Amino acid sequence: MKPIKNQDPQIFELLEKETDRQNYNLELIASENFASRAIMEAQGSVLTNKYAEGYPGKRYYGGCEFADVIEDIARDRAKKLYNADWVNVQPHSGASANAAVYLAFMKPGDTLLGFDLSHGGHLTHGSPVNFSGIYFKPEFYGVEKETGRLDMDKIRDKAKAVNPKMISIGASAYSRDYDYETFRSIADEVGAFLWMDMAHTAGLIATGNLKNPLPHAHVVTTTTHKTLRGPRGGLILIGKDGENTMGKVAPKSGRVKNWSELLDSAVFPGTQGGPLMHIVAAKAVAFGEALQDDFKTYQTQVQKNAKALAAKFMELGYKIVSDGTDNHLILIDLRNKGLNGKIAEEALGKAAITVNKNMVPFDTESPFVTSGIRIGSPAMTTRGLKEAEFEQIAVLIDRVLQKPDDEQVHQSVENEVRELCERFPLYDFVIL
Ligand SMILES: *Cc1c(COP(=O)(O)O)cnc(C)c1O
């Protein structure tokens, strides 16, 4: 068998270019991170060839003896990481994990109360273009205009008014921690399931840098590739299984099933076919990394760097939604600078700084323009940058945003970005 370099030089060359891009750009997209070599080795392994429909000990295919052990290790490590009774490590992505939650707990037409998409919520929490908004009836709560934070009393009022079957927590652009106890008391008051989607903050939660939702939410989903820094994938967890007295799940067989059983069937065969066993192996490696002491050090630095970034931007006269951050990201409202998200994203891209334009709460621009940018610290923290470098990043971004059309500024900032990237090397290989 030939290496890709010889067999398919066209794709290989593009992989080289992408590696170069990752090595020499400031990666500030809040949902991205850099996986370790060990994780990528597992992802690139022979397990990509293996069909293992079903679960350990209950497969529909032969030859699963090693796949079984790997999946069991992945499950055990994930349970330990979050103090969970039960996990499912097979969802192909965050969206797939969420699809399984809907299938397990909701019927078409049921009401979901979720985090307003225009305030930072995710597509899979009721967007009209997503299955969650097409097959279910979405209602939303949002942040307060003055504070940029959630107001639990208003959420309680909303829940009582719309009587949802499920309440979801979790967002892609909210920089504050959640009051899970109050969310749960609201869910109990209206008889709803409580679902937390910790896709963005799973790493910070694993190390205790943010509160753990598992004792409060009936079900928790996540991605494994954002702050958790694993392979691209999804995960579903339950803190306490067997709490299934709510009776909202009417099992066809008449036997009341545990939520874990409902969710396992909702993943396979409900919404997926065969698991990606190479990714399951990579998840096991990632959970192993997350159980090490230095992962806590990393997450603490992620938080410190995001705070340093927020403070520096505020010093430079920028408006940060909610005036700071508890987690790994900040959302900048650019309106007082006479800019929009589209212009800022494009100008920063020309200076080798990667951010994404983002709606801010009560935005008056369209989603294609937006009034803000979202900036996250996880990826560059993985490279070893600390507070001083993040302050430097705020200054570099400010220099570009002061003159978004100035090519000389783009060039001089790009040069500084390159120096910074060279000081904190990333990947010294293109393929393994
Ligand atoms: C990223 C994200 C997802 C989706 O994850 P994918 O792996 O891209 O499908 C779901 N929910 C939230 C809150 C997210 O931030």
pLDDT in tens, 63-112: 999 999 999 999 999 999 999 999 999 999 999 999 999 999 999 999 99
For the chain, which residues make up each domain, given as ranges?
Answer: 42-290, 293-423
Determine the distance separating the centroid of ligand 1 and the alpha carbon of 376, expressed in angstroms: 15
53 is catalytic: yes
From 226, 283, 307, 374, active-site residue = 226
Atom of ligand 1 nearest to the CA of 233: 7
Q: How far is the CA of 338 from the centre of ligand 1 (A)?
A: 31
Check if the beta carbon of residue 219 is closer than 8 Å to that of residue 267. no
Q: Are 175 and 149 in contact (CB under 8 A)?
A: no
Residue 287 predicted with pLDDT over 60: yes
Q: What pLDDT is recorded for position 243?
A: 58
Hey, which of 32, 124, 224, 279 would you mutate to test ligand 1's pocket, going by the most ligand atoms within 8 Å of its Cβ?
124
Helix/strand/coil (H/E/C) assignment for every residue in 98-165:
HHHHHHHHCCCCCEEEEECHHHCCCHHHCCCCCHHHHCCEEEEECECCCCCCECHHHHHHHHHHHCCC
Rounded-to-integer distance, Cα 416 and Cα 351, Å: 9
Chain-centre distance for alpha carbon 374: 13
Average pLDDT over residues 21-26: 97
Residue range 29-65, pLDDT digits in tens: 999 999 999 999 999 999 999 999 999 999 999 999 9
Please list, in sequence order, all residues whose beta carbon lies within 8 angstroms of the beta carbon of residue 2, skipping any fewer than 6 positions away: none
CATH topology of domain 42-290: Aspartate Aminotransferase; domain 2 (3.40.640)
Instruction: Tell me the mean pLDDT in the region 125-153.
Output: 97
Q: Compute CA 314 distance to the chain's CA centroid, rounded to the nearest angstrom.
A: 25
Q: Region 313-322: what's the mean pLDDT?
A: 98
Interhelix angle 341-350/387-402, nearest 10 degrees: 110
Q: How far apart are CA 89 and CA 197, in angstroms?
A: 15
Q: Which CATH architecture has domain 293-423?
A: Alpha-Beta Complex (3.90)
State whether the beta carbon of 31 lies less than 6 angstroms from ligand 1: yes
- Note the Cα 341 to chain centre separation in Å: 21
- Span from the CA of 97 to the centroid of ligand 1 (angstroms): 9
Closest CA to 329 of 365, 378, 280: 378
Q: Is the dihedral of CA 361, 365, 366, 370 positive or negative?
A: negative
In this predicted structure, what is the pLDDT of residue 244?
A: 59
Tell the residue number behind the tokens 């990752």, with chain if given. 22
Using the mean position of ligand 1's atoms as its centre, give its distance from the Cα of residue 314 in Å: 28
3-state secondary structure of 213: coil
Catalytic (active site) residue 147: no
Distance CA 154, CA 166 (A): 17
The pLDDT mean for the chain works out to: 96
User: Is 214 within 8 Å of 237 (Cβ atoms)?
Assistant: yes
